[in-house]
């Protein structure tokens, strides 16, 4: 299975400059990069040789491909060429979207398309945000908000052109918009490494306890019953980030039934859902992870991140408030209490 990362970001946010710098990094060897047009990325000084009309091989060892056709066709064709030996083997794929792209359909395709899931696994979404223009873009363009809200990693670009105060304000806004994302800074002379941006666990296998700890930082995500939502900007008003908790173990069947109903009714509004659950009858924490309608099978962590063992579910939603989700989740808690009170079979 080859991990696939997606780079998105609004027009002019610096994602192509970031990609150019990443492609020159030695650790990007054996990486296939799908972009829209070579002309949009200054690759001339990176080119080693042309493999064919659509593919070039870079000095770093990366394959760089034009995405002239559908994403599925492009990835299928790349895998066929890999098997045939017409392109060098690759162990990672990075996809750059257009500046106005909605990343959700791309993630959905990577997670569900039958021809892709046997070869590729999505591992993360990187979004670039302009340090100078980012506030305005987030105010005026819903695409910029959604890109930032869905990301696993946020890169604030051109920080050398903006004051530290304004950068801090933007970082604070991004942290409120997407509490679970890591935030990096990038300039023309310094940027995150490929490993920092792309070395992520698959959406289906979150196994790092430290990742779960980061999701649940109380100073960034308000738990159920404590309203710390911030609504200072127009497009931000449509995005909510919140955490629901349950102190006692949950009944797995009750939880799954609730989640299925929630996905059927509100799936389009669930930009990201990440959770760690204390399930009746299990000693290890169960981790769930999903994007809109699509959820991967649950996995288990070896240990709990803290001594306390509440179930915590982090939601990043669009046009869906915490109170609406919390009301239905209360039934799961009540039904789980009933299940715990039932006598155990001999």
Concatenate the DSSP letters of all residues of 133-189 into one string.
THHHHHHH-HHHHHHHHH-SEEEEE-GGGS-HHHHHHHHHHHHHH-TTSEEEEE-SS
pLDDT in tens, 148-201: 998 989 999 999 988 999 999 999 999 988 888 889 999 988 899 998 998 755
The pLDDT, as a whole number, for residue 55 is 81
**pLDDT 10s digits, 315-325:** 888 889 899 99
Report whether 207 contacts 286 (CB < 8 A).
no
CA-based Rg of the chain, rounded to a whole angstrom? 21
Residues 122 and 29: their CA atoms lie apart, in Å, by 19
Instruction: Quote the CA–CA distance of 292 and 290 in Å, as a whole number.
Output: 6
Q: In this structure, is the dihedral angle defined by the CA atoms of residues 142, 165, 218 and 9, taken in order, positive or negative?
A: positive
The candidate with the shortest Cα–Cα distance to 58, out of 82, 81, 95, 27, is: 27
Q: Which residue has the higher pLDDT, 90 or 202?
A: 90
Q: What is the per-residue pLDDT for 159?
A: 93
Instruction: Please determine, for residue 23, whether its predicted confidence score (pLDDT) is greater than 60.
Output: yes
CA atoms within 13 A on the CB side of 161: 14
User: In this predicted structure, what is the pLDDT of residue 223?
Assistant: 44
Q: Which two tokens stand for residue 316?
A: 């990043």
Highest averaged pLDDT of the listed ranges 21-25, 120-124, 202-206, 251-255: 251-255
* Contacting residues for 325 by C-beta, under 8 A, at least 6 apart: 242, 244, 262, 266, 315, 317
For residue 5, what pLDDT band results from cuts at 50, 70 and 90? very high
Q: What angle do CA 259, 230, 325 make, to 5 degrees?
A: 15
What are 254-281's pLDDT values in tens digits? 999 999 999 999 988 888 888 889 999 9
Q: Would you state the pLDDT for residue 215?
A: 53
Residues 98-109, mean pLDDT to the nearest whole number: 86
Q: Is the pLDDT of residue 2 over 90?
A: yes
Query: pLDDT > 90: what percent of the chain?
Result: 36
Q: Is residue 311 a contact partner of residue 275, using CB atoms and an 8 Å limit?
A: yes
Per residue in 37-54, pLDDT tens?
554 555 655 666 666 767
pLDDT at 57 over 50: yes
Q: Check if the beta carbon of residue 81 is closer than 8 Å to that of residue 20.
A: no
pLDDT digits (tens, 9 = 90+) for 62-94: 888 877 668 899 899 999 999 999 888 999 999
**Highest mean pLDDT: which of 105-119, 215-229, 246-260, 273-287?**
246-260
Judged by DSSP in three states, 126 sits in strand
User: In the prediction, which pLDDT does 62 show?
Assistant: 83
Task: Write the CB contacts of 85 (distance below 8 Å, at least 6 apart in sequence).
Answer: none
Q: For the chain, percent helix, then strand, then coil, each to nearest 5?
A: 35, 25, 35
Q: Which residue has the higher pLDDT, 204 or 116?
A: 116
Domains along the sequence of the chain with CATH: 2-198 (3.40.50.300), 209-341 (3.30.1220.10)
- Residue 27 dihedral angles phi and psi, to the nearest 5°: -75, -5
Q: Can you tell me which residue has the tokens 């797995």?
A: 252
Phi-psi region of 294 (alpha: psi -120 to 50; beta: other; left: phi over 0): beta
Please report, rounded to a whole number, the percentage of residues in the chain having pLDDT higher than 70. 82
């Amino acid at each position: 299975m080859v991990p696939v990362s997606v780079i998105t970001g609004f027009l002019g946010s610096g994602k192509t400059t970031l990609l150019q710098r990443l492609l020159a990094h030695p650790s990007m060897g054996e990486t296939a990069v799908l972009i829209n047009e070579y002309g949009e990325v200054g690759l001339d000084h990176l080119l080693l040789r042309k493999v064919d009309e659509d593919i070039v091989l870079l000095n770093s060892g990366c394959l760089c491909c034009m995405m002239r056709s559908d994403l599925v066709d492009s990835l299928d064709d790349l895998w066929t060429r890999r098997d045939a030996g017409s392109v060098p083997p690759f162990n990672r794929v990075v996809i750059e979207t257009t500046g106005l792209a909605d990343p959700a359909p791309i993630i959905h395709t990577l997670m569900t398309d039958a021809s892709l899931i046997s070869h590729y696994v999505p591992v993360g979404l990187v979004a670039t945000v302009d340090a100078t223009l980012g506030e305005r873009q987030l105010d005026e363009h819903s695409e910029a908000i959604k890109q930032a809200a869905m990301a696993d990693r946020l890169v604030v670009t051109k920080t050398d052109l903006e004051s530290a105060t304004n950068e801090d304000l933007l970082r604070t806004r991004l942290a409120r918009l997407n509490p679970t994302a890591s935030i990096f800074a990038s300039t023309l002379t310094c940027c995150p490494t490929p490993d920092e941006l792309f070395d992520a666990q698959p959406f289906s296998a979150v196994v790092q306890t430290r990742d779960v700890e980061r999701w649940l930082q109380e100073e960034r995500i308000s738990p159920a019953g404590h309203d710390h939502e911030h609504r200072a900007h127009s497009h931000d008003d449509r995005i909510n980030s919140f955490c629901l908790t349950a102190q006692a173990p949950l009944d797995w069947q009750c939880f799954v039934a609730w989640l299925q109903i929630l996905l059927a009714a509100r799936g389009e509004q669930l930009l990201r859902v990440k959770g760690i659950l204390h399930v009746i009858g299990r000693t290890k924490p169960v981790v769930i992870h999903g994007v809109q309608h699509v959820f991967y099978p649950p996995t288990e962590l070896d240990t709990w991140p803290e001594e306390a063992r509440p179930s915590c579910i982090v939601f990043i939603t669009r046009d869906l408030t915490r109170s609406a989700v919390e009301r239905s989740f209360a039934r799961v808690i009540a039904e789980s209490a009933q299940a715990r009170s039932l006598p155990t079979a001999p």
